[in-house]
Structure 1
C-alpha cells in the first residue's frame, strides 16, 4: 500500500535557491500529469526512491537523468528548470544576464542553465564549470538522446568518449558529438574549466 495517493497534496511554493527549481518543477509536473512516483519511475527508468530524493532536494541528478526525467514527463529539459510554465510566443527572445542563470550542481559539474524563461526550446544552452579532474570520478560514461556542442571558454578540458581517444581542448576549441555515445569531461589542469555546453533534447513522445 502506498500512502502517496491517500495524503492531501501539500502546497507547492517555489523555492528560494535557484538550484532547488528542479525539485519544485519535478513535483509540480509529475502531479500535473497525475503520475505517482512509481509510474514516473517506470517511464524514465529512475527508481522511485531516487525520484523522491530529487523532489525533496536531497539528490542532484546528472544531465543523463535529467534528460530521462524530461522524456518521462513529455517535456523538454528546459521546462524542468523554468520556475513558471509559459506558452511559446511567436517572435520570442530571451536575455540571461551574467551569472543570472538557474544553477544545477552535480559532483562533476556545475551547470548554469541559460534562458530558462523560454519553453519548448530546440536545444539547451548551459555555461558549465567542469569540476571533475579525473576520469575515475565518473562511475561510467554518461549517455542520452540528442546531440551536443562543447565550446571551451577557459581552462583546459579533456573529453572522454566511447570509440575515441581522449580529446584535449583549450579556449576556443569545440567539439560536436552524438549524445548517445558515452561521454564525460574533466579539467586538464588543477583549475576548474568553463565551457559553453549546448545539448539538443530528445524528441518527445
Structure 2
C-alpha cells in the first residue's frame, strides 16, 4: 500500500497503533500479511505507524464492520479509492495539536499528578499519555474525555484559545470562518460555533467515513445532536444503537455512557450541543 512522507509526524509502535484504533496487534499483523497495511520499519525491525496508517486502519475497520467486506473485497475497495480521507486536513493541524498536548500536560501538572498517577486514574497507558502530551496527536475522543475529567476540567476548556475581551453583546461566526479545534483523532474535525457562551458547547462536527469515538465515555450535562449530512451511529448506555440520517436528531443525559461512529461512504456533518460546557 502507498505510504506518504511522514516527516515531522508522530509515530507509534504496533501496540499503541492497536490501542488508538480499537484493534489488536495480531489483527494488524494479519492485515499486513494480506497486503492491506505496509508500516515502516525501524532499524531494529519494529513496525512504525504514522497518522496515515491510523486513518487507513480506521477505513479497513469500517469496510469490515459496517460494509461486511472480506479481506479480498477490502483490498479491491482500497485499490479503487483515493488515500485515506484524513490526509487533506492534516497540514492545517500540527501547531494546534501540539498546543493541545501542552494544555493537557499543564492541567495534569496543576493537579500535581505524575504520568503514572494519571495512567492509574484513567486506565490509559503511561506511554500513550506521554506521547499525546508531546505531540498532541493520537488520542481519541473517549481518551480525551477521560483525561480531562481526571484533571477536573473539560476538553473544550483545554482546547480553547486565550480568552478575548468581548466587544459586543453578540458574537457572529460567518460561514466558513469558525475556528477549528485541534485534532481529536483521525477523520474528525470540530468547528466552534459559540465560544463566547459560558453555559453550552455548540459545535459543527465533520466526520470522515469510519471515524469513531474509540470507546464509550460520559460526562456531566445534557446532549443534543442533529445530523446535517450523512449517516451517524450512536449507542447510549450500550442498550441500543441508533442509525441517524440527515434531518434526524437525538438528545440524552450525557452522564450515560455513549459511543458513536460515522457510517456510509460520505462525510457525516453534525450540529452537536452540550450543556453545560462539559465536552
1:103 aligns with 2:182: yes
Shift of 1:118: 5.0
Structure 2: how far apart are the matches of 1:53 and 1:140?
18
Using the TM superposition, name which of 49-58 and 172-181 deviates more.
172-181
More strand by share: 1
SS in 1 for 2:156: helix
The number of equivalent residue pairs is: 180
* Equivalence map 1:50-65=2 (5 Å): 50-57=128-135, 59-65=137-143
Structure 1: how far apart are the matches of 2:189 and 2:146?
17
* Equivalence map 1:1-205=2 (5 Å): 17-57=95-135, 59-84=137-162, 86=163, 94-97=171-174, 98=176, 99-107=178-186, 109-114=187-192, 118=196, 121-133=198-210, 141-146=215-220, 147-161=222-236, 162-164=238-240, 166-179=241-254, 180-187=256-263, 189-200=264-275
Cα gap change, 1:170 to 1:103, in 2 (>3 Å) = same
Structure 2: how far apart are the matches of 1:196 and 1:169?
13
Runs (5+) with no aligned partner, structure 1: 1-14
Shift of 1:110: 0.9
- Residue number in structure 2 paired with 1:9: none
Using the size of structure 2 for normalisation, the TM-score is: 0.53
- Larger Cα-atom Rg: 2
SS in 1 for 2:201: strand
- Residue number in structure 2 paired with 1:11: none
Runs (5+) with no aligned partner, structure 2: 1-92
Structure 2: how far apart are the matches of 1:92 and 1:47?
45
SS in 2 for 1:23: helix
8 Å contact 1:77–1:124 — kept in the other structure?
Answer: no
Using the size of structure 1 for normalisation, the TM-score is: 0.69
Structure 2: how far apart are the matches of 1:102 and 1:196?
15
8 Å contact 1:125–1:196 — kept in the other structure?
Answer: yes
Shift of 1:87: 9.6
Deviations 1:132-169 (A, max 9, x none): 44xxx7696422223321111122323344212x4232
Aligned-CA RMSD value: 3.4
SS in 1 for 2:182: strand
Higher relative contact order (CA 8 A, sep 6+): 1
SS in 1 for 2:135: coil
Structure 2: how far apart are the matches of 1:122 and 1:157?
26
Structure 1: how far apart are the matches of 2:201 and 2:116?
28
Deviations 1:90-128 (A, max 9, x none): x97655453422232413x41314168659x44333221
Shift of 1:26: 1.0
